[in-house]
Structure 1
Amino acid sequence: MAKPKPSGLDVYARPYIPQALKSVNQLVAHSVHSQLVRWIDFGQYTHSFAGSRFLPADAPQPSTHADQSELADRLAKPLGPKRYYSHFSDALVQEVQHLQHECEEHALYKVTLFQAPSDPRPAMFWLHVPGLREMSLRVEIGDTVHLWQIHFGLRGEILEAPLLTYRQDRPVLLSPYINLQYHSVIWGIDRLKERLTVRVDGLQPTSMVFNASFTIQGARLGALYKAVADVDHLLATNQASQWMTSMLFPDSNSGVMQTTLNKGTIAWEPHDSELNYEQIRAIDNVLNRAYGTLPYMISGPPGTGKTKTLVELAMQLISAVPEAHLLVCAPSDPAADTITSRLRQHMTPKQLLRLNSPSRSFPEVPMSILPFCHVDDDMFSLPPFPQMMAYKIVVTSCRDAEILVRARLRNADLFSLEFGLLSAMHPEKTTTYPSLHWTGLLMDEAAQAIEPEACLGMTVVAPPEKCMAPQQAPPIFVMAGDQNQLGPRTASKGTALQTSLFERLLSRSVYSEHPLARSRLSGGVMRPLTQKMLPILRPPFANLIRNYRSHPAILATPSALFYNDTLEPEATNTDSLLSWQGWKGERWPVLFATNTSHDETEQDGGGWYNNTEARMACEYAHSFLEAGLLEAREICIISPFRAQVNLLRKNARNKRNKIAMGEVSIGPLEAFQGLESRLVIFCTTRTRDRFLEQDAARGLGVINEPRRYNVAMTRAKEGLVVIGNPAVLEKDPCWQAFLEFCQRNRLWESGDGPWTPPGGEQGRAGRLEKQLLHAKGAADRQANGLRNGVRALGQPDDDEHVLWQSGVDVESALREVDDAEAGGDEEAESAPEAEDDDG
């Protein structure tokens, strides 16, 4: 059968918009502005604790103007300390261009504006915005939405102006008439109902049908430009240059050589008794600051406890140094909320602040952390200065760190203010340098933040240009993340903004070429530091390896593909779904179900969907529920395409279902990063290969998108069902590895016959797969009355744990043989007393 030729049509093209509708937006119109939402008065706030005499001047911002040819040439040049601003300002110029296009893509035509019922505020209306639930449109409270009123004639034709209106129930001819363009302002966001509350002052209700267009967030982008300009300035100054250069361009000169093995004990008492060895070692390294002056990187694959480690580190840092004040950032509000929820278990509202932007909607904030937020007259705001200085930890999103910059609460500002005041008040004395307020910056999920966003937090904690007190250590900078999951969300593709600071730093030789780096390990074995390896650069990083989320069969392929086979399954009770009758082959809780029915696209540009796949997914969910193995809220169904998500929700909410599935969590892939579920049903949706190039150009789908694949396959705890077409998925090396894993172990449900890998050769089994097979072999021998040569099996009532441990022990025995042959009997690094904790 001949392969179909690629389609020349743009399957992602916007639906057809009649020219008559488009022309409404081009009419000469008078602008009508609406009242803005209340905001923080930063000038007044700064004046409440300082004037301007002792505050340093803002760094000058170079011009960002460049034509397209200059932009391409400049972006092609490598990043370095001397061209930091030009590199990222050019990337931001491209981002602005793509954001403007993104706003055009989301423009609405011929939509109805509804009066907001029961809203006591004046001039409030509702606007329905498709895609708001999935956050495909970037909007915040305070943003402007342009509205053009549409008028119709008696035959439904679109008019340039209304012919008449009604006053006191009588028609009145309007002549002449001035078209109005309303600059409405977003006052509320309801993502669940995909609805904006907009304020439209001066509305003439001659028609309630409008065209709507959205605007880029100029203030947010301006803050990013300023951040990279500030960093560029700091890279060129004396004291700050040393710190900022070491943070952004670290090398071995910033590190410390290690000449002795680490001690096997720790000098601090953990708040969390379930920390494992790698987590304890990471926290201890940062507390002792023995690794040098450079970022400490915590590499944490899915389910390994990155946030848990950062929370414990934060608590230990403020316990060790009474004067410590930490800024903790995350790239999104939900991630920052998660950190706050963990910290609030150990802290009071007087010690911990969750700093929110006034642009954040109150319903988006979990009730449990509202006591840790500061609210000023129904608006999130900054606490008064004395109260602000008393907080031990401030948690905010990377973007909202801008609030601290604008309020002049940076280390440089506070240092200059205190030093200047003391010098002016006591000119006869030699003023000692004050200590820094912010002693550290911790960043969670750092691989999802664009580098200019990371710069905002860095400029807050960066030391001043003047000398610090000699006895004070410079601020620490710790990042936790996983560059193998979803990276920064950007409108532009292929620019410097798509590589996070976390990923860029890990690619530098001081991290990537270190002998203990994850990428330099072989066979998945995390070898300990031995006396023979000394002296060695003390590693400025930690590799978390123990997964507390998933069954080993779910982890097997991601561990081999992305983490050098280093993941160690530590989760308990992951076998609760094994009694489901649908599992195949080895009866591990992984299943691939074949679906070759054609994917289809919505005519209105809504995206791709697959009816057969949606039916199959709901049937699988129904089967688990019917078996009574779990509740609906413990199931999630994921698809990379919005139209398929909508179809799945419609099918699941069907009242004709025998079992209620309304609580099944259904959503797009991006919504589930950082989350987990007992059962995951993943719908690949794409069953034809002719549109793969267009998918890739837009960064959609899960084929040839390794990070999206990794996120999809690591959400499940106890069961994973994948639905797809192997003839299409095999074109992606990651999916091919998964298909081979399923075929080798007969974890396959297919009505179309066997699948043959491209080239006809099966890939090699990874370490976790081999351990599972060892355990199975031991189980088979036990069933036949035999005994395993490495260890005797336990009693039947704990066979799941014992069988798995048997496989681990087999591999451990093989490792000991390898180590002995390689001279691996030298003295190894001692583990702390808490090493046996299974975290």
Structure 2
Amino acid sequence: MSKPPVEPGPTEIIEATTDERKLQTKLASPLPDLTSSKKTFDVYARPFIPYQFKSINGLPAVNYPSEGVTWIEFDDYVRTFAGSAFLPKDSSGGKVEDAAAKLARSELCAENYRYYFTDLLAREVDAARDNCLEYALYNVPIQRARNDPRPFMYWLDVPGLTESTLQIEVGDQVALRQLYGQYAPNAAPYGTTIQYDAVVWGIQRSQGRVTLRIDNLFWQSGLFNVSFSVQPFRIRALHTAVSRSHTCLSDDSGGWLRSMLFPRPADGVMQRALGKGKFDINAFDGLLNYEQLKAVDTIVHSEWGTVPYLISGPPGTGKTKTLIELALQLLRTESDSHLILCAPSDPASDTLTSRLLPHLKPRELLRLHSPSRSFAEVPDSLLPYSCIDNGTFSLPSFADLMRLKIVVVTCRDADILSSARVSNRDLFHLEQGMMAALYPGKKYSGKKNEVKKLHWTALLLDEAAQATEPEAQIPLNVVAPPLREDNRHATTLPLVVMAGDQHQLGPRTSSRIPALQLSLFERLFQRPLYRDHPLARSSGTQPRLTASMLPMVRPPFTNLIRNYRSHAAILAVPSKLFYHDTLEPEALLTDSLLSWSGWRGARWPVHFAVNTAPDEIEQDGGGWYNVREAQMAIVYAHSFLSENLLGQKEICIMSPFAAQVKLLRRLAREAKLWHVNIGPLEAFQGLESRLVILCTTRTRYRFIEQDLAKGLGVVHERRRMNVALTRAKEGLVVIGNDEVLGKDEWWQSWLGFVGRNGLWEEEKGASSQHSFGWGDDESIGRLERRLVMDDHAMRGERPRDAPELGIGRGAESRLWASGVALEKALRSIQLVEEQSSPVHSAEAASKSE
């Protein structure tokens, strides 16, 4: 095992000082007030740091290095199974030519692929350095790590670590300057010419604490300046992946990777007849619905062409569940299959692994972790399926790796497989090189000597909309087949399947460059092959395929439409705004909170409470909070609990502002709400709760532009809004200022929904609520109409001109709707039979993401 590369200390400090001046100049520039022509102060300016502290970091220093964490020695690993003569040289390096760099800012295409993303990644690094400057700490204490048997270990508390706003991992280098001596104007404290290059050896995110190894520390005051830096090895993997893809696109312009990144209608397969009406698979999960089974059946039988198969999965529709079934079916269909399952984050990859555990043994399934991952972050159930060597996560032996059926890994950590030279291309050249050496003079002669199948037969990428395109390139390069003439020896090409939702939060980046935040998944859906297909979700309905529509390109996608999470009233607006009114609520037992005494109007489980109390900012730009809103949220939580409708763990309170989250947690502790889930909005993507209380916090519109520049808030942030509204299962309470929210067209539609149906609680003494398009028939979605009709039916009334509320029109719509009703009835019967079963609750939870 070797150590990961670290950033040179003095150079980084000099760059940081220069970047800091640039950042201060930028932040000092006031932004225009949205409500007047006057200038306003920058509410997000960095806190004032006295010059005597900041100046220390710019002084020349002697670097004291610390021992790094152990790492995988890839050259040694490769030598255990192959000689370098049989593996192709890596041609992904080299500088970007100046002339070619001019292509970087043009529209993305195969010809400028490398230059386009090299430019974006360079700008991302600049933004990441600015971010490191914002999180630099001055005059903070470091304490010895108590009860840690390892030598030279210390604890450092880092603000922002709990919410993962600071990117830091085990193995990262952190620069420390100890402060001591007497301070005087223009005089540096004694001893600050020493810089300790500490190394992160452990991370406790829940406590906001990192464990540092600091060698040769001469303890004086215990107070330090702390500087973080961008770790070059983390960016290098992205550059390498993009360069490899560019080489592939250049050398094999009509090949497999081109059809994965730039698919055309001609890459698809024409469908000339309707399907047989049944699926040729025996499902492992008996609760899969029609759309999920259709996706699995189509993929297993490879009937869509050499393009990525995309599964569009809105919240709670079971896209992860579909991928798990697909993986198991691929293994059943082809016993010699070897799959890579990826997700952008460790928690999402852990979820994939957990769902595979009942079906696979440790010798068949590997959860591959980076050596930089902390053991405390890994669920205990996954450790038997992980490779641990000398107290660090590592790779299994080559023979054991080749026997595995499934490897689950994050997109970025898939670089471990590339660095270990076990990609499809490397394994192919290894086999052919050794065969040529063992049997010189022999050539390929048709099927007799051809390779039957590449080792990695499929890549399944979950939560694909949250990965940047360079991140997605890493696993794509692992499964990519050989180039050009070598392709003739591979009888089958790898399958690529992506599941995600481009209408929720996308990739998290330091820079807010739209081109980098556009995931490969979303970009593919913008290609004509997917966007213009007659069965695309964007058509505004979810049509059924009929003979009159044929022939056409077989759809290389599936739109999941059945939501197993939320009450119809909670889904009504998100379905209309973000999913072309196609969602169908299928969740059972979502009416359990309807007896709460606080529901208004139609008494659906959606409630809007107006709060116009001013938002406030912490001293020195620490963040926004709203005292009255926080108090209201705690009162609502107490109200549900006092009526014995649910437990504390079933309540979630979220806000898009970290300072408000901190205030909410303090008030919750004072109210003895120890187990209520409180956190930032981003932390709840992919999660769900019986009751969600959303604190929008912002009540003054003049600061919205600065919120947008920082990527904060929920106003004019439709993806954040979508995530916030779709976490709730049985009850949703939103607290906010209707005048501020109403300036956003997306929120205006939601306010119209709550206003039309009386789900609105005005402040005491305030006038009646505003009319946000309440009479606009176009703003009323299918689910809202259905809810209104159900209310009329309960009262024995029938509205005039009652519209068809199924998907589609006419007899086909009625047939489809009757099928939905039958499915609900069958599920209800099954639920009654299973309620006494101890596994019932676990199965019900698995229906959603």
Counterpart Cα distance in 2 of 1:87 and 1:836 = 53
Q: Which residue of 2 aligns with 1:815?
A: 809
2:69 corresponds to = 37
Q: Tell me the distance in 2 between the aligned counterparts of 1:539 and 1:159.
A: 71
For 1:600 and 1:325, locate their aligned partners in 2 and report how far apart those are by CA, in whole Å.
Answer: 55
The one-character-per-residue Cα deviations of 1:744-802 (angstroms, maximum 9, x if unpaired) are: 00001112222223578546311000000010000011xxxx79999xxxxxxxxxxxx
Letter in 2 for 1:593: A
Q: 1:228-243, aligned counterparts within 5 Å? A: 228-238=242-252, 241-243=254-256
1:204 to 191, 195, 218: 218
Tell me, in whole angstroms, the C-alpha distance in 2 between the residues paired with 1:441 and 1:200: 41
The alpha-carbon deviation at position 673 of structure 1 amounts to: 0.3
What corresponds to 2:188 in structure 1? 160
- The answer on 1:18 being equivalent to 2:50 is yes
Cα displacement (A) at 1:428: 4.8
Q: Which residues in structure 2 correspond to 1:592-603 (within 5 Å)?
A: 592-603=608-619
SS at match of 1:811: coil
Per-residue deviation, 1:159: 5.8
Name which of 460, 469, 474 aligns with 1:451. Answer: 469
Question: Residues 314 and 759 from structure 1, CA distance in 2 versus in 1: closer, same or farther, beyond 3 angstroms?
Answer: closer
| Equivalent-residue separation in structure 2 for 1:684 and 1:706 (angstroms) | 13
Deviation at 1:326, TM superposition (A): 0.5
Q: How does 1:185-204 map to 2 (within 5 A)?
A: 185-204=199-218
The C-alpha deviation readout for 1:216-246, integer Å capped at 9, x for no partner, is 12101001000000001111224x8510000
TM-score (norm 1): 0.90
Contact 2:614/2:626, CA 8 A, preserved across alignment? yes
> CA separation of 1:17/1:789 partners in 2, compared to 1, >3 Å: closer, same or farther?
closer
CA distance in 2, matches of 1:819, 1:715: 29
After superposition, the C-alpha distances for 1:480-520 in whole angstroms (9 at most, x for unaligned) are: 00000000011112242110000000000000000000001
Among 437, 446, 451, the alignment partner of 2:455 is 437
Q: Residue 836 and residue 327 in structure 1: after superposition, are their counterparts in 2 closer, same or farther (change >3 A)?
A: farther
The answer (yes or no) to whether the contact 2:792–2:798 under 8 Å persists in 1 is: no
1:487 matched to 2:498: no
Shift of 1:281: 0.4
Deviates more, 1:17-26 or 1:712-721: 17-26
Point out the more displaced range, 536-545 or 370-379: 370-379
Compared CA separation, residues 265 and 789, structure 1 to 2 (3 A) = farther
- On the 8 A contact 1:6/1:690 being kept in 2, the answer is no
Deviation digits for residues 626-668 of structure 1, max 9, x if unmatched? 11111100000000000000000000011xx3xx311100000
Whether contact under 8 Å (1:152, 1:158) holds in the other structure is no
For residue 263 of structure 1, report the CA deviation from its aligned partner.
Answer: 1.3
**What residue number does 2:703 align with?**
691
Length, aligned pairs only: 784
Q: Work out whether 1:100 is the aligned partner of 2:129.
A: yes
Report if the CA contact (8 A) 2:593-2:645 is conserved. yes
The residue number in structure 2 matching 1:803 is none
Residues 379-778 of structure 1 correspond to what in structure 2 (within 5 A)? 379-430=392-443, 432-434=449-451, 435-465=453-483, 466-468=485-487, 472-521=491-540, 524=541, 526-654=542-670, 657=671, 660-751=672-763, 752-757=766-771, 762=776, 764-778=779-793
Residue 299 in structure 1 maps to residue 331 in structure 2 = no
Taking structure 2 as the reference length, what is the TM-score of the superposition? Answer: 0.89
How far apart, CA to CA, are the structure 1 residues paired with 2:625 and 2:576?
31
Correspondent of 2:386 among 373, 376, 379: 373
Distance 1:193 1:692 in 2: 31
Partner Cα separation in structure 2 for residue 470 and residue 316 of structure 1: 26
Cα distance in 1 between the residues matched to 2:36 and 2:87: 67
For 1:759 and 1:306, the matched residues in 2 are separated by 34
| Aligned mates of 2:813, 2:611 — CA distance in 1 | 46
Distance of aligned partners of 1:75 and 1:729 in 2 relative to their CA distance in 1, 3 Å threshold? farther
Flag the 1:591–1:835 CA change in 2: closer, same or farther, 3 A: closer
Q: Partners of 2:825 and 2:288 in 1: how far apart?
A: 10
Match of 1:167 in 2: none
Could you tell me which amino acid in structure 1 is paired with residue 565 of structure 2?
A: R
CA distances 1:467-486 after superposition (whole Å, capped 9, x unpaired)? 24657221010000000000
Distance in 1, matches of 2:674 and 2:129, equals 37
Contact map agreement 2:454 2:492 (CA 8 A) in 1: no
8 Å CA contact 1:303–1:549 kept in 2: the answer is yes
Aligned CA RMSD, in angstroms, stands at 2.5
Tell me, in whole angstroms, the C-alpha distance in 1 between the residues paired with 2:774 and 2:316.
Answer: 34
Quote the Cα distance in structure 1 between the aligned partners of 2:192 and 2:294.
70
Q: Find the aligned partners of 2:185 and 2:770 in 1 and give their Cα distance.
A: 59
Q: Deviations over 1:64-107 (max 9, x none)?
A: 4769xx97x64431111111000001100100111111111110
Alpha-carbon distance change, 310 to 554 in structure 1, aligned in 2, over 3 angstroms: same
Q: State which of 349, 355, 368 in structure 2 corresponds to 1:342.
A: 355
Instruction: Give distance in 1, aligned partners of 2:631 and 2:519.
Output: 38
Counterparts of 2:180 and 2:476, CA distance in 1: 52
Query: Counterpart in 1 of 2:297?
Result: 284
8 A contact 2:176–2:197 mirrored in 1:
yes
Shift of 1:149: 1.1
> For residues 772 and 420 of structure 2, what CA distance do their matches in structure 1 show?
59
Q: Residue 67 of structure 2 aligns to which amino acid in structure 1?
A: Q
State the secondary structure of the residue aligned to 1:663.
coil
Distance 2:800 2:527 in 1: 45
Aligned amino acid, residue 436 of structure 1: L
Matched residue type, 1:23: S
Rounded to whole Å, the distance in 1 between the matches of 2:75 and 2:160 is: 37
What's the secondary structure of 1:644's corresponding residue?
helix
Maintained 8 Å contact 1:151/1:159: no
Could you tell me how far apart the structure 2 residues matched to 1:835 and 1:393 are?
A: 34
Displacement of 1:157 in angstroms is 8.0
Q: What are structure 2's unaligned runs of at least 5 residues?
A: 1-33, 828-846
- Mark the CA change 1:105 to 1:812 in structure 2 (over 3 Å): closer, same or farther: closer
Q: Tell me the percent identity.
A: 52
Q: Secondary structure at the match of 2:570?
A: helix
Conservation of the 8 A alpha-carbon contact between 1:7 and 1:690? no
AA partner of residue 578 (structure 2) = F
Given that 1:433 and 1:468 are in contact with CA atoms closer than 8 Å, whether structure 2 keeps it comes out as no
Q: Give the conservation status (yes or no) of the 8 Å contact 2:505–2:720.
A: yes
Shift of 1:561: 0.0
1:178 Cα offset (Å): 7.4
Gap regions ≥5 residues in structure 1: 163-176, 791-806
3-state SS of the aligned residue for 1:606? coil
> 1:23-43: CA deviations, max 9, x gaps?
111122101100000001111
CA distance in 1 between partners of 2:235 and 2:391 (Å): 26
| Residue of structure 2 equivalent to 1:798 | none
